[in-house]
Amino acid sequence: MRMSVIGCGYLGAVHAAAMASIGHDVVGIDVDERKIAALASGAAPFFEPRLPELLAEGLGSGRLRFSSQMADAEGAQVHFVAVGTPQVAGGHAADLRFVEAAVDGLRPHLRPGDVVAGKSTVPVGTAARLAARVIDTGATLVWNPEFLREGWAVHDTLAPDRLVVGAEQDADGGRAVAVLRDAYAQAIDAGTPFLVTDLATAELVKGAANAFLATKISFINAMAEIAEASGADVALLADALGYDTRIGRRYLGAGIGFGGGCLPKDIRSFAARADELGRGEAVGFLREVDAINLRRRERAVRLVVDALGGLVFGRRIAVLGAAFKPFSDDIRDSPALDVAVRLRGLGADVVVTDPAAIDNASAAHPQLGYARDRDEALRDADAIVVVTEWDEYRRDLSPEHAGALVRGRVVVDGRSCLDAAAWRAAGWQYHGLGRR
Ligand code: NAD
């Protein structure tokens, strides 16, 4: 099937490459010429496991192309819209300018029967408005929200937990759904549930899924606050809760909380849209979820300050991690970098290391010190703070090895990812959020 993917960021570039890998003929389009030049030369403009291989394969086969010209979308049967929907400056709502510009830019190139499939995360009601904008072209707009996890994006695109397509319940909507069913035939044949909904429900599924995940993370972090005040241990609590199959252990890792280009802005825009709909009360708890999340960053900083005797000025602190999560170089709203910036703000001599995100981090926060090599970051540190649970820190760093490099054996585990007993046994002062 011929497809276009408008917007080639974390979502769109992976979607384009993944669709080409299963045999579709795909053109990825973006207004960012540099990104397009990189992608066209086979270089992934961001870190995502398996993406470089998929790009090489797609470009080599001729099934995958990249362009900065919207006209190159012409002739595609499906046009996926994967542009950004960031938080508006000075507010909590989503900035829909990019989605609107993408759909308007696409309009002159649409033919009757084409399907425009929105993948960006949008507030409920957006799709119906955009559908009206393309109707006179004879194309049909559907909403096909994306649930991929950065770091697992290729896997999640090729083998998603479920596919959701929202469409108008008329003949054109039915035809458009059938086209998407064909586009995703491989995943559907492999057993992926394919759910057909109206436009509003499809938009809401995405917002609700992110609201739920954020709530689960903030729930355990709220328990960490209680554990800290009562002398309990949140990691043991999470294990015990997690055995309850109604609850489950995933997303119950207490720590410095969520970040990235999705959860924080998505829960805010969800609440902002609920306000517009006159139902703000229904999701009022999301403001608390956000507040709990942001408090954890400050708590991590406090643990470091207290561990160093109340003053970090001039002390060397190794910050292990910059990306908002492992297997990604994404630093958008990264709790890890936020902790580093706050420590720097208190006068600490901060050295940040990360296997993938140093370039992005140093461009955004040039005031911080950086070391590409983990051991270089550890050398002569008065304290270390683990803020992104990369294998390099969680699994591969032994307390003995780290102990030989640092000046002070103080570790703050911002992700509950270290073996506290092993670090203590090696002579470290171990501090974890919500840990005894
Ligand atoms: P991103 O910022 O990495 O990419 C967006 C891309 O769109 C950029 O490359 C930008 O240049 C391009 N763009 C902007 N306006 C354009 C236009 N008019 N025409 C063509 N290209 C244009 O963002 P992302 O992380 O890929 O997210 C995209 C959307 O997908 C957002 O709505 C996000 O919430 C949603 N989403 C993201 C993820 C994720 O893990 N990143 C997961 C699920 C859903």
Q: Is the pLDDT of residue 436 over 90?
A: no
The minimum-distance atom of ligand 1 relative to the CA of 150 is: 40
Residue 25's DSSP bridge partners are: 2
pLDDT digits (tens, 9 = 90+) for 371-411: 999 999 999 999 999 999 999 999 999 999 999 999 999 99
User: Which bin fits 248, alpha (ψ -120 to 50), beta or left (φ > 0)?
Assistant: left
Catalytic annotation, pick one of 36, 163, 262, 386: 262
CATH fold of 203-436: Rossmann fold (3.40.50)
Domain residue spans of the chain:
2-197, 203-436
Q: Which CATH number fits domain 2-197: 3.20.20.70, 3.20.20.100, 3.40.50.720, 3.90.1200.10?
A: 3.40.50.720
What whole-number distance in Å separates Cα of residue 264 and Cα of residue 284?
Answer: 15
Is residue 146 lining ligand 1, measured as CB closer than 6 Å? yes
E runs forming strands in 7-93: 25-29, 64-67, 78-81
Determine if ligand 1 sits within 6 Å of the CB of residue 7: yes
Residue 245 CB coordination number (10 Å): 6
CA distance 216 to 86: 23
3-42 pLDDT, tens digit per residue, is: 999 999 999 999 999 999 999 999 999 999 999 999 999 9
- The residue whose CA has the least distance to atom 9 of ligand 1 is 9
Residue 262 CA: nearest ligand 1 atom is 34
Of 296, 284, 145, give the one whose Cα is nearest residue 220: 296
Is 199 within 8 Å of 131 (Cβ atoms)?
yes
> For 99-143, what is each residue's pLDDT tens digit?
999 999 999 999 999 999 999 999 999 999 999 999 999 999 999
Give the tens place of pLDDT for each residue, 323-379: 999 999 999 999 999 999 999 999 999 999 999 999 999 999 999 999 999 999 999
Q: 311-349 b/e with 16+ CB inside 10 Å = b?
A: ebeebbbbbbbbbbbbbbbbbbbbbbbbbbbbbbeeebb
Q: What is the pLDDT of residues 39-87, one digit of tens each?
A: 999 999 999 999 999 999 999 999 999 999 999 999 999 999 999 999 9
DSSP state of 329: -
Residue pLDDT, tens place only, 249-277: 999 999 999 999 999 999 999 999 999 99
Three-state secondary-structure class, residue 26 = strand
Does 35 contact ligand 1 (Cβ within 6 A)? yes
On whether the CB atoms of residues 384 and 320 are closer than 8 A, the answer is yes
pTM of this structure = 0.96
Q: CB 424: neighbour CB atoms within 10 A?
A: 14
**Do 2-197 and 203-436 share a fold?**
yes
For 72-123, give the DSSP string. GGTT-SEEEE-----BPTTSSSB--HHHHHHHHHHGGG--TT-EEEE-S---
Q: Choose one of 8, 48, 83, 329 to mutate for the ligand 1 pocket test, by most ligand atoms within 8 angstroms of C-beta.
A: 83
| 45 within ligand 1 shell (Cβ under 6 A) | no
